[in-house]
Chains A and B, each alone.
Chain A
Amino acid sequence: MSDKGALPNSRLPLEGVLVLEFCQYLSGPSAGLRLADLGARVIKIENPGKGDLCRILPIKNQWVGENSLLFHTINRNKESYTANLKSPEELAEILELIRQTDVVMHNFRPGVMEKLGLGYEKLKGLNPKLVYAEISGYGSQGPWVKKPGQDLLLQAMTGLMYASGDQHDPPVPFGLAIGDILCGAQVVQGILAALVNRNRSGKGAKIELSLFESLLDFQFELLTTHFAGGQKPLRTKAQNAHPLLGAPYGIYATRDGHMAIAMVPLKVLEEALGCEGLGRFTQEMIFTHRDEIKKLLADYLISDNTGFWLTKMREKGLWAMDVKHWKALKQEAGYQHMKLEQKVRLPDGQAILTNRCPIRIDGNRLGSDRPAPALGIDSEKIRKEFNLFKAST
């Protein structure tokens, strides 16, 4: 998927890196997807019965053959190897594969890999250069170790639900699996840093992340402010968009839609919009009087269309944007210019559309049209390629 006119150095950065993914659902597999798009070879190690349970978890009942579209979205560009990890012979084959790999990652609950004989201490003995990465919900100790590491629960427990929505709303969750996504992304960071280190030291490392720690890190600005001031983050009465930021920061209804306004000095905003009264609030008052300011602005902006206001704001270079849904976004030349979508070719000749990798390397957009693997489809090939038969006999 390379561009014409890209820079000549087009070797993918992780070419030659082998990753074994003992993961299900989203957090671990999203990390595997990123590593694959960056050039690594990613093999999913799956249970022979059902495999990654995401295979049978559809959203909006969308299926691609026997697997959910969701599974294809998260697992394109990977291989699948099935093994019953409770069978000594099959475990011996896996251990041989691990001996030859660069990275092992898993998102089982704490203790499961150890019980299977696949804990870090043991694997390190087998392969001292191994980078071993582990994702949990709540860390490997403490009272919540056995609690399910599910995204909504983590959002609930980390205070995140008090960041969005308005002051009198109940707790408002993010409508996406933010904990899974962040944790997966940070696992990639940890794995890559460990690989960089291995280039110099010759030694592997163990990387650990939890959804809980990822969501606390995500809120580092809110938490640090909370620690310093002792006050809880307070959402504004209306138009809240960030508990720490003063007026006018928020999304406002207009006559025909909605518009986002970021940080804009009030005096400048008054002049640009002709909204009299804004200028009587000094810049210090954007925090102390933010509800009043937002109300004044909200009552004013409803009187005309988004396009009208936006033109006035843009003329002065002020930070504003109309709120778009995906259909409107897709029509925009600015969106199309970025070529954010890619095709995945299915074995039956059909294709699905999905997002490409957000990172560009040497001017090349990354991605792959290779579909997600059928369960166990690469087992025999991998067994031969890595001489795993020897290990089991």
Chain B
Amino acid sequence: MSLLKDILVIDFSQFLSGPSASLRLADLGARVIKVEKPETGDICRQLYVSEVKVAGESTIFHTINRNKESFTADLKNEADKARVRQLIASADVVMHNFRPGVMDRLGFSYEAVKAIRPEIIYAEISGYGEDGPWKDLPGQDLLLQALTGLPYLNGESDKAPTPMGVSVVDILAGTHLTQGILAALYRRDQNGEGGMVQVSMLESAMDFQFEVFTTFLNDGEELPQRSRTNHAHAYVAAPYGVYATADGYLALAMGNIQTLKELLVCPELGEFTDPEEWFDRRDEIKSILAGHLESKSTANWLGILEPADIWCARVLDFDSMRTEEGYRVLEMEMMVKTTKGHELRTTRCPIRVNGQLLNSPQGAPFLGEHNDAITQEFGLK
């Protein structure tokens, strides 16, 4: 089920934020052509994160760029630029994540692109906005986490500010860009007009925190306080947290402390009868729970808590997760293959359409792999 059949996306972006957005568009049925610099291409091709490579290129690149085509063009060369302009004349979406000003200098600003293709959806991701004092700072995930206070939400209060160990700001910015592009495509089909979509990693990082940041804005700007022990959320009461058991770890979400006292047979919790104390005295409660839960196995506690509808779960790592029936029924893994026959196991698009999985076996393109085919198909000169 290709919801975005016949949508052509010309993608100038690199690394993760932009390419993760175009991957989603590709999985939803759009045709995505990466415009890459000759010789080197998307720098992510050489961004190795492990010794495992796909045809000498980074596994990460192949993960983010499957199901796309690659067209090389030197954007400082007039002949190549003319070819890209011809390609844009047939496009629905142009997207990039260059630093502010770069696309203007290359001759591919929104105004310039709109002159070629008036109904274009032009989408861009910046680090900190297109103007203002931070526009030239590098838009890199960890730096944006550091800037926006995210590390003060994770880890216990005696720990250093703890970043989130996934490139969450890149991924959210890409997600928001996709939302904007799709909304603009909907409008274009309604009234024939294109539009410009802009997202910055700064805006995305702040949106991610909207619940807790709004609390901060309205409570006299009190900064978030992490729990001293078993921390999981600065704004949520005990028992919310992760607890060591005799053989692993147990996550406990919101719950009534007195109910837990009974179920777990933990009389020390008896004095915490006032729900307001479950937040104000959460460190004490969590310490008691932590001391109590480490005495028996995770299975033991789950056997007591789950039948009583207490929100709890065993903490799994990738290996243990993959042996679970609940994981396998989701069929989240799929194989992709490059045109040269390299296979890679990866995850599919998380969205199901009309009950169907959006699997795509097409691997990532080699640099310039589709130059000839695209030149011919679009009659590029």
Interface of A toward B, CB cutoff 8 Å: 7, 9, 11, 13-17, 26, 34, 38-39, 59-62, 69-70, 73-74, 138-139, 141-144, 147-148, 150-165, 169-178, 181-182, 185-186, 188-190, 192-197, 199-200, 205-210, 212-214, 216-229, 231-233, 235, 240-246, 249-251, 253, 258-263, 287, 317, 319-327, 329-330, 332-335, 337-338, 340-341, 352-355, 357-363
Main secondary structure of the interface of A (DSSP, over half): mixed
By beta carbon, the residue of chain B nearest A34 is B179
B76 within 8 A of A: no
The complex places the Cα of A120 from the Cα of B3 at a distance, in Å, of 18
Chain B residues near A341: list those with CB within 8 A. Answer: 217
The 8 A-B residue pairs with the shortest CB-CB distance in the complex, in nearest-first order: A163-B165, A175-B153, A192-B182, A337-B132, A334-B134, A260-B146, A142-B329, A156-B251
Interface of B toward A, CB cutoff 8 Å: 1, 3-7, 16, 24, 28-29, 49-52, 54, 59-60, 62-64, 128-129, 131-134, 137-138, 140-155, 159-168, 171-172, 175-180, 182-187, 189-191, 193, 195-200, 202-204, 206-219, 221-224, 226, 231-236, 240-242, 244, 249, 251-254, 276, 279, 309, 311-319, 321, 324-330, 332-333, 344-347, 349-355
- Starting from the known contacts A240-B165, A340-B203, 15 additional A-B residue pairs (CB-CB under 8 Å) come to A73-B211, A148-B311, A150-B253, A164-B164, A176-B208, A194-B3, A200-B189, A206-B352, A212-B327, A220-B346, A232-B317, A321-B146, A330-B221, A358-B206, A363-B198
Q: Is the CB of A242 within 8 A of B165?
A: yes
Q: In the complex, which of the residues B164, B165, B219, B254 contacts A235, with contact meaning CB atoms closer than 8 Å?
A: B165
Chain B residues near A322: list those with CB within 8 A. Answer: 146-147
Q: Is the CB of B179 within 8 A of A241?
A: no
By beta carbon, the residue of chain A nearest B16 is A221
Most buried by B among A69, A193, A195, A317: A193
The complex places the Cα of A22 from the Cα of B76 at a distance, in Å, of 52
The complex places the Cα of A154 from the Cα of B187 at a distance, in Å, of 35
Q: Is the CB of B313 within 8 A of A182?
A: no
The complex places the Cα of A221 from the Cα of B318 at a distance, in Å, of 13
8 A-B residue contacts at CB 8 Å?
A62-B215, A164-B155, A173-B251, A185-B179, A194-B3, A200-B6, A334-B133, A354-B217
The complex places the Cα of A326 from the Cα of B244 at a distance, in Å, of 32
Chain B residues near A69: list those with CB within 8 A. Answer: 214-215, 218
Chain A residues near B1: list those with CB within 8 A. Answer: 205
Chain B residues near A363: list those with CB within 8 A. Answer: 196, 198
Q: Is the CB of A338 within 8 A of B332?
A: no
Known contacts A160-B166, A170-B249, A228-B50: A324-B242 contact under CB 8 Å? no
Q: Is the CB of A196 within 8 A of B4?
A: yes
Q: Is the CB of B151 within 8 A of A13?
A: no
Q: Is the CB of B63 within 8 A of A220?
A: yes
Q: Is the CB of A353 within 8 A of B214?
A: yes
Q: Is the CB of B352 within 8 A of A207?
A: yes
Chain B residues near A141: list those with CB within 8 A. Answer: 329
Q: Is the CB of A189 within 8 A of B313?
A: no
Q: Is the CB of A193 within 8 A of B28?
A: yes
Smallest beta-carbon distance A224→chain B, Å: 4
Smallest beta-carbon distance B19→chain A, Å: 11
Q: Is the CB of B147 within 8 A of A26?
A: no
Q: Is the CB of B190 within 8 A of A361?
A: no
Chain A residues near B29: list those with CB within 8 A. Answer: 193
Q: In the complex, which of the residues A73, A139, A220 contacts B347, with contact meaning CB atoms closer than 8 Å?
A: A220
By beta carbon, the residue of chain A nearest B309 is A148
The complex places the Cα of A158 from the Cα of B318 at a distance, in Å, of 7
Smallest beta-carbon distance A381→chain B, Å: 25
Smallest beta-carbon distance B29→chain A, Å: 8
Q: Is the CB of B128 within 8 A of A334?
A: yes
Known contacts A192-B186, A251-B161, A326-B213: A209-B350 contact under CB 8 Å? yes
Q: Is the CB of B314 within 8 A of A326?
A: no
Q: Is the CB of B347 within 8 A of A196?
A: no
Q: Is the CB of A358 within 8 A of B203?
A: yes
Q: Is the CB of A325 within 8 A of B149?
A: yes
